[in-house]
Amino acid sequence: MISVILVNYRTAMQTLDAVASVKTQQAIDPLEIFVIDNSISDSEDALLRTCLPDDVIHIRNHENTGFAKACNQAFTLSRGEFILLLNPDARLLPLALSRLAKSLKERPHAGAIGPRTYWDEDCQFLMPPSTFPSINSFYKQAISRLHAKLSRYQSLDFREKALQAWTCTTPIPVEALSGGHVLIRREAILKCGGLFDERFFMYWEDTNLMQRLRKSGYQLYIDPMAGCLHFYEHSPAKDQLIGQGWSTYQQKNFQRNIHFQFAQWLNNRLPPVQAPNILPLTPDNEKLTFPIPQELRKAWLLELGTTPQFIPAIGHFGSGPVAVVDTILFKRLRENTYFARLSNPISKPDLIYYWQWQGHST
């Protein structure tokens, strides 16, 4: 059996669509689906109760307990050999669940496996792979602030990992997986100490789980033959929640580590390094159009990120004279400053173009 867990917080319509994407899967195992509603809203509750399929287990909480605690609440009730965590803004593509389950069964050393994830319904924009924070990465971040060339090395290191995830044709091991769309072995969850640490309200709880799975001897994979849509939106409010989650993760894993403290000291004192030759870009009717230089028109990679280092970044492969981010995608990047990088689709390109623009104002 596969147990599917979704946590709703004032996104009932999206949750219904996410559940529908699970119900239409040709699963190789029986399914049980849990929807935990943290909305504290009568209208959300009524919509879910009216529209969810009868066999979906719907639980309404009378306070917003947070993502981690709500997932644990469902996990305690679940019976599945595998646990699928799915965000309300995610959709499984056809055959994704059966493919993930098959891959996990074929790899008893795998604790969890995730799909290749796309930002748009046309599957042209690829979501970045998840990364795993380490002391070495903090030192690299600090050193990268000393000079633009050093900053480029760290950026291209992430890019190489992203290219592997975006272009692989068979399952590959990865550092970490997103809790928004992942299939996890129950046995591995129990062996590593449980699903989520409830000190995390939201964000970074999945990174902590991946760390514990790895420490317990399990590997993590992505399967490119399993597809998922994740309609991710970015906003300053989300940055605040991510920051709170990171603070919890830091206190739990690094607070007493003298090497981490020194790396943080460096990062707090060294100025950030900007990418060279960043051109301003003005949206045209809430759409972004990037001109492609003649020498890149045979094949290019456009990356979109929240920092000029593009860690992380969304990727879009293409060819031709223009690259376009349409209105739907443009509106998902709100209020902050965002960056784009255009280059050959290789790990260490020589020719690179940069842009920046102001996100959509709501």
Q: How would you write the pLDDT of the chain (362 residues) with one tens digit per residue?
A: 999 999 999 999 999 999 999 999 987 789 999 999 999 999 999 999 999 999 999 999 999 999 999 999 999 999 999 999 999 999 999 999 999 999 999 999 999 999 999 999 999 999 999 988 877 777 777 777 776 666 777 888 899 999 999 999 999 999 999 999 999 999 999 999 999 999 998 888 999 999 999 999 999 999 999 999 999 998 777 778 888 887 888 888 887 888 888 877 877 887 777 666 899 999 988 999 999 999 999 999 999 999 888 999 999 999 999 999 999 999 999 888 999 999 999 999 989 999 999 998 87
Task: Check whether residue 209 and residue 289 sit in a common domain.
Answer: no
Global pTM reads 0.93
Structure confidence by residue, pLDDT tens digits, 96-118: 999 999 999 999 999 999 999 99
In the chain, DSSP finds a helix count (H) and a strand count (E) of 11, 17
How many other CB atoms are found less than 10 A from the CB of residue 264?
16
Residue 54 is assigned to a structural domain of this protein: yes
Q: How remote is the C-alpha of 168 from its chain's centroid?
A: 18
Answer yes or no: are the C-beta atoms of 180 and 11 closer than 8 Å: no
Same domain? 218 vs 305? no
Helix (H) or strand (E) holding 158: helix 148-167
Burial level of 300, CB count in 10 A (0-12/13-18/19+)? buried
User: Is 274 within 8 Å of 341 (Cβ atoms)?
Assistant: no
Structure tokens at 64: 């917003």
35 and 93 together in one domain: yes
H/E stretch holding 280:
strand 278-280
Within-domain flag for 246: no
Cis omega (within 30 of 0) for bond into 276: no
Contact (Cβ atoms closer than 8 angstroms) between residue 264 and residue 138:
yes
Which domain-ending residue is among 232, 254, 270?
A: 232
Question: Both 83 and 17 in a single domain?
Answer: yes
Instruction: Say if residue 116 is in the same domain as residue 40.
Output: yes
DSSP state, 194? -
CATH of the domain at 336: 2.60.40
Domain identity same for 125 and 29: yes
Any domain includes 162: no
In the numeric block, which tokens belong to residue 171?
A: 């399952």
Q: What is the pLDDT of residue 20?
A: 97
The answer on 202 and 97 residing in a single domain is yes
Q: What distance in Å separates the CA atoms of residue 219 and residue 105, rounded to the nearest whole number?
A: 13
Please tell me the distance from the alpha carbon of residue 191 to that of residue 114, in angstroms, as a whole number.
20
The packing angle between helices 42-51 and 12-23, to 10°, is: 20
Eight-state DSSP code of residue 292: P
Q: Count CB neighbours of 269 within 10 A.
A: 9
Query: CA 325, 329, 331: angle at the middle one, nearest 5?
Result: 115
Question: Are both 69 and 217 inside the same structural domain?
Answer: yes
Residue 342 placed within a domain: yes
**Residue 229 near residue 223 (C-beta atoms within 8 A):** no
**Structural domain contains residue 351:** yes
Q: What local confidence, expressed as pLDDT, does residue 193 receive?
A: 96
Residue 191: C-alpha distances to residues 137, 155, 202, 221 (Å): 27, 35, 23, 18
Q: What is the pLDDT of residues 220-234, one digit of tens each?
A: 999 999 999 999 998
* Count of CB atoms situated within 10 Å of the CB of 193: 12
Shared domain for 282 and 183, answered yes or no, is no
Tell me the residue range of the domain where 299 lies. 278-358
Confirm whether 25 is domain-assigned: yes
Asked if residue 358 lies in contact with residue 312, where contact means CB atoms within 8 angstroms, the answer is no
pLDDT of residue 148: 67
pLDDT, one tens digit per residue, over 66-80 is 999 999 999 999 999
Whether residue 90 sits in one domain with residue 189: yes
State whether 124 and 183 are in the same domain: yes
Count of domains for the chain: 2
> In this structure, is residue 31 part of a structural domain?
yes
Residues 105 and 45 in one domain: yes
Residue 243 lies in a domain: no
Output the domain CATH number for residue 13: 3.90.550.10
CA angle 65, 13, 121 (to 5 degrees): 115
